[in-house]
Homo-oligomer: A and B are copies of this chain.
Amino acid sequence: MTILETSPPETWKVPGFRFATTACGIKANQRTDLLLVAMDPATSVAGVFTRNQVVAAPVTLCRQRLSQGQGRALIVNSGNANVANGPQGMQAALALTRTVAQHLAIPEETVFIASTGVIGEHFPVDRPLAALPELTRNLSDQTPWLQAAQAIMTTDAHPKLVMEHFHVEDQPVHVLGIAKGAGMIHPNMATMLSFIFTDAIVPHSILQRLLTHAVNHTFNRAIVDGDTSTNDTVLTFASGQGGVTIDATNPTTMTLFAAALESVCGRLARMIVADGEGATKFVTIEVTGATTRAEARTIAATVAKSPLVKTAFAGSDPNWGRILAAVGYAGVPLQVDRIDIFLDQVQIVAGGIRAPGYQEADGAAVMAQKEITVRINLGMGREQDTVWTCDLTHGYITINADYRS
């Protein structure tokens, strides 16, 4: 079985990775905004990216470089998304990865890059370029991973990092992930960056397949505001330094690794939702009894995105009519008189109408909780899906009405 690491993050180690962070001046007030990770020669890479048609230059570059399968370095900045900057944006991303490659004496196409922050502002590439010599000198496998998580934050209230491990014949496998993201969060995917590091030996093609599966079951379930970013990136690097091989010859090990990877992605995704801009509540929307899983996802996402549902959560108001109305406009064929809805264990809708025994006090008690599960049984078929969301509060408005100032 895989085990969630509960020791202090300061002690976490993943063999094969060295990194350093700095404040290069993209963010104001000398906040840390640059992360460089250097990886051992055998490191394989996998990636999943935004489906937005407007994409940042770093996303385009990573997509191009993914197929060669090897990752030797990762450079990430926060404070500027380097998107919609045209040829200059791509030139900046290329200059940055080329200079990283020179400093580390590695092939340019093995350098991966990600940016997050304001969209459409000129990318001040001179600042990270000037910081690279010192950043390279400071690379260390002793740097606490918390620093890496902090360097990629934008509107996040908290850094996000998690580690799972398991053993195969006394050899440990570590899967450590960091992430940032608090707004513009929506499946496919989010203004969300996540980087996952493991010391297992995982061929590129297997790592890609397992990551794609894990992302669909985790990050793609996370909805804060329904906006889909231009920069979403999940990259996973496998250094191979731990000595355990993940491939089809050992299905049990592969299952363990897949579970650890999905668990890390899932925990990071839930941390992102819990840290949603202004969020005070974590809400799980489970849709069961659907004809297809895609329809279950569509209904769950429609409920999760409804501003009226999200403000009802903010107000601890068991206004179940808003939930039922959102189910009704999801565009999925329904038999309304078969729909049951529960707030945790309290049934609020039975057969499409207010449940006979429902007492508003019971619904209000659930809505007052910090964590709430809405279960919607469509009574149509046997498929189901789940999304995670948060409430919509004054805090969201405050953060986003003057994010850039």
A118 B329 Cβ-Cβ under 8 A: no
B329 A227 Cβ-Cβ under 8 A: yes
Is A41 an interface residue when CB atoms closer than 8 A count as contact? no
- Which of B315, B351, B397 is in CB contact (< 8 Å) with A402? B315
Interface residues on A, range: 35 or more
CB distance from A343 to the nearest CB of B (A): 13
Contacts A321-B119, A404-B319 given; indicate if A84 touches B394 (C-beta within 8 A): no
The A369-405 residues at the B interface (CB cut-off 8 A) are 392-394, 396-398, 400-405
CB distance from A393 to the nearest CB of B (A): 6
Is A314 an interface residue when CB atoms closer than 8 A count as contact? yes
A54 B401 Cβ-Cβ under 8 A: no
A120 and B327 alpha carbons, distance in the complex (Å): 14
Q: Which of A167-175, A243-251, A288-296, A303-311 contacts B (4 or more CB under 8 A)?
A: A303-311
Is A15 an interface residue when CB atoms closer than 8 A count as contact? no
A352 B227 Cβ-Cβ under 8 A: no
CB distance from A179 to the nearest CB of B (A): 19
B229 A325 Cβ-Cβ under 8 A: yes
A54 B352 Cβ-Cβ under 8 A: yes
- Which of B119, B306, B311, B404 is in CB contact (< 8 Å) with A324? B119
Residue of B nearest to A85 (CB): B353
Is A83 an interface residue when CB atoms closer than 8 A count as contact? yes
Main SS at interface, chain A: loop
Contacts A120-B354, A229-B325, A354-B120 given; indicate if A401 touches B393 (C-beta within 8 A): yes
- Which of B81, B351, B402 is in CB contact (< 8 Å) with A86? B351
A184 and B329 alpha carbons, distance in the complex (Å): 11
Q: Which residues of B contact A315 (CB under 8 A)?
A: 400-403, 405
Q: Which residues of B contact A334 (CB under 8 A)?
A: 53-54
- Which of B186, B321, B394 is in CB contact (< 8 Å) with A81? B321
Is A336 an interface residue when CB atoms closer than 8 A count as contact? yes
Q: Which residues of B contact A307 (CB under 8 A)?
A: 225-227, 307, 392, 396, 400
Contacts A119-B325, A396-B307 given; indicate if A401 touches B314 (C-beta within 8 A): yes
Contacts A392-B397, A393-B397, A397-B314 given; indicate if A52 touches B325 (C-beta within 8 A): yes
Is A156 an interface residue when CB atoms closer than 8 A count as contact? no
Is A27 an interface residue when CB atoms closer than 8 A count as contact? no
Is A144 an interface residue when CB atoms closer than 8 A count as contact? no
CB distance from A65 to the nearest CB of B (A): 21
CB distance from A77 to the nearest CB of B (A): 16
CB distance from A209 to the nearest CB of B (A): 25
Contacts A307-B225, A308-B225 given; indicate if A325 touches B402 (C-beta within 8 A): no
The A347-372 residues at the B interface (CB cut-off 8 A) are 349, 351-354
Interface centre among A83, A228, A307, A327 (most CB of B within 10 A): A307
Contacts A84-B352, A227-B326 given; indicate if A118 touches B321 (C-beta within 8 A): yes
Q: List 27 A-B contacts (CB under 8 A).
A: A52-B325, A54-B324, A54-B328, A54-B336, A83-B321, A84-B324, A84-B349, A118-B319, A119-B322, A120-B354, A121-B321, A188-B329, A226-B305, A226-B307, A227-B326, A228-B329, A229-B325, A230-B321, A307-B392, A307-B400, A311-B401, A314-B401, A317-B401, A317-B405, A319-B403, A319-B404, A393-B401
Q: A119-B319, A311-B397 are in contact. List 5 more A-B contacts (CB 8 A).
A: A54-B328, A83-B325, A228-B329, A315-B405, A393-B401
User: Chain A residues in contact with chain B, CB under 8 A?
Assistant: 51-55, 81, 83-86, 89, 118-122, 183-184, 186, 188, 225-230, 305-308, 311-312, 314-315, 317, 319-322, 324-329, 333-334, 336, 349, 351-354, 392-394, 396-398, 400-405
